[in-house]
């Protein structure tokens, strides 16, 4: 929808806004207030405006995190993926690190689980020789080492780009627990862990922005009993609310197994687990509506299929049709494709830009609306509320 022509009063108001904009820039140049070195006009701010994105290696996960299949992880922000043990969190961190290396980032891994190994990273196409690996035990150790290393690295390499992984928050312990081990004690930390996690999240938020780094963290989730026994358990982010507030996006993951029939040497048929389908849900997000979901396929034999999960959007965009059950027709290809051959690169390359455009338009937040559009939406909301009241 195009913008309405401005009347004389609106033109005058816009002129005043533009004048004020230049006054802000002039103020920053002339101001004698100390500590404004990193301040700027909002439109040119490196802290609030995202300069670059790094892919996760999955178009669908990119979509769930950023609303764009070609984006994913924003520079200058903290993002998180969380889920139960064995869901594939470390693999997704590795996949993202590989993509970051392609864009010239220096990778730093703060590892609390000893799961981020060189062989695995090399197998998916990463270069472990260009990764700084730091084993971590406690929250305080992670906070201090991460900040100190970022500062020291950027002082020596001011033009470099940092990609920081923490795998995972859930395995961190407090200094008290570590000291109690040596003294053969076993008392609980009485909330110290949650407090330290909050403090660390606040520190990281500022340091990641200051150095224009990307921080991608993994974490465990747990089930909290619902207030009503008839309701499903509530999935919670381990370690308190600190990182929930600090992150720009959290994706919750859960998995289901993919099994295929195989025939052994004796001619016996059995279903063998070949991989997992991961369901990703935007639990908290500043770029897309919360609750946005997508599916990712993680094969044991071939790794992450970056195309998996695009089908529904392509069907809705009329870029693919389903002429008969189990067969699909790509509009830019002559031959129909069987479902099992759907997610091959050759099928998608020729139309991926159109899929990307459709996804961007579908999942973006609305940034401007005319008054009459807002009034219409508010009226619909009121009507809906009234109907529900009548039913009750």
pLDDT at 345 over 60: yes
pLDDT at 86 over 50: yes
Tens digits of residue pLDDT in 290-341 = 899 999 999 998 999 999 999 999 999 999 999 999 999 999 999 999 998 9
Comparison of pLDDT for 78 and 46, the residue scoring more: 78
Tens digits of residue pLDDT in 180-192 = 887 777 767 768 9
Region 356-381: mean pLDDT is 69
Q: Give which of 233, 367, 222 is closest to 287, Cα–Cα.
A: 367
Which architecture does CATH list for 39-309? 3-Layer(aba) Sandwich (3.40)
Q: Are 308 and 88 in contact (CB under 8 A)?
A: no
pLDDT cut 70: percent of the chain above it? 87
Round the average pLDDT of the chain to a whole number and report it.
Answer: 88
7 burial (CB, 10 Å; 0-12 / 13-18 / 19+) is exposed
| Structural domain spans, the chain | 39-309, 310-384
pLDDT at 378 over 70: no
> SS3 string of the chain?
CCCCCCCHHHHHHHHHHHHHHHHHHHHHHHCCCCCCCCCCCHHHCCCCCCCCEECCCCHHHHHHHHCCCCCCEECCCEEEEEECCCCCHHHHHHHHHHHHHHCCEEEEEEECCCCCCHHHHHHCCCCHHHEEEEECCEHHHHHHHHHHHHHHHHHHCCCCEEEEEEECHHHCECHHHHHHHHCCCCCCCCCHHHHHHHHHHHHHHHHHHHCCCEEEEEEEEEEECCCCCCCCCEEEECCCCHHHHHCCEEEEEEEEEEEEEEECCCCCEEEEEEEEEEEEEEEEECCCCCCCEEEEEEECCCEEECCCCCHHHHHHCCCEEEEECCEEEECCCCCCEEHHHCCCHHHHHHHHHHHHHHHHHHHCCCCCCCHHHHHHHHHHHHHHHHHHHHHC
- Alpha carbon 78 to its chain's center: 8
Q: How far apart are CA 134 and CA 152, in angstroms?
A: 15
Tens digits of residue pLDDT in 191-206 = 899 999 999 999 999 9
Q: How far apart are CA 272 and CA 255, in angstroms?
A: 16
Region 122-133: mean pLDDT is 97
Of 32-46, 128-142, 145-159, 268-282, the poorest mean pLDDT is in 32-46
pLDDT of residue 29: 83
Question: Could you tell me the pLDDT band of residue 388, with boundaries at 50, 70 and 90?
Answer: very low
pLDDT at 373 over 70: no
Q: Are 101 and 127 in contact (CB under 8 A)?
A: yes
Q: Are 330 and 351 in contact (CB under 8 A)?
A: yes
| Token duo for residue 326 | 């189990």
């Amino acid at each position: 929808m195009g913008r309405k022509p401005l009347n004389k009063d609106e033109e005058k108001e816009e002129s005043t806004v533009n004048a004020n904009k230049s006054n802000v820039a002039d103020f920053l140049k002339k101001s004698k207030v100390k500590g404004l070195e990193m301040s700027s006009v909002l439109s040119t701010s490196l802290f609030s405006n995202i300069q670059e994105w790094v892919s996760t290696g999955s178009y669908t996960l990119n979509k769930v995190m950023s609303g764009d299949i070609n984006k994913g992880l924003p520079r200058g922000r903290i993002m998180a993926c969380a889920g139960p043990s064995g869901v594939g969190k470390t693999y997704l961190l590795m996949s993202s690190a590989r993509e970051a290396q392609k864009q010239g980032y220096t990778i730093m891994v703060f590892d609390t689980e000893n799961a981020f190994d060189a062989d695995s990273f090399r197998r998916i196409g990463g270069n472990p020789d260009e990764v700084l690996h730091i084993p971590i035990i406690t929250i305080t150790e992670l906070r201090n080492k991460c900040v100190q290393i970022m500062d020291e690295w950027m002082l020596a390499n001011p033009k470099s780009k940092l990609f920081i992984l923490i795998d995972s928050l859930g395995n961190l312990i407090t200094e008290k627990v570590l000291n109690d081990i040596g003294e053969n004690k076993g008392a609980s930390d009485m909330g110290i862990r949650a407090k330290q996690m909050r403090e660390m999240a606040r520190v990281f938020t500022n340091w990641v922005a200051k150095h224009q780094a990307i921080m991608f963290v993994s974490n465990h989730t747990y089930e909290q009993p619902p207030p009503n026994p008839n309701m499903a358990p509530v999935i919670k982010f381990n370690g308190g609310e600190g990182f929930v507030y600090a992150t720009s996006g959290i994706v919750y993951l859960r998995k289901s197994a993919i099994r295929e029939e195989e025939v052994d040497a004796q001619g016996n048929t059995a279903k063998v687990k070949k991989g997992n389908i991961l369901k990703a849900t935007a639990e908290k997000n500043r770029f897309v509506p919360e609750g946005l979901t997508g599916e990712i396929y993680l094969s044991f034999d071939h790794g992450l299929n970056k195309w998996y999960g695009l089908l529904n959007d392509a069907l809705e965009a009329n870029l693919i049709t389903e002429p008969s059950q189990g067969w699909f027709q790509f509009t830019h290809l002559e031959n129909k494709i069987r479902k099992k051959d759907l997610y091959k690169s050759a099928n998608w390359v020729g139309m991926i830009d159109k899929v990307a455009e459709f996804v961007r338009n579908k999942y973006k937040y609305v940034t401007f609306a005319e008054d009459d559009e807002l009034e219409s939406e508010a009226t619909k909301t009121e009507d809906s509320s009234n109907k529900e009241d009548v039913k009750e």
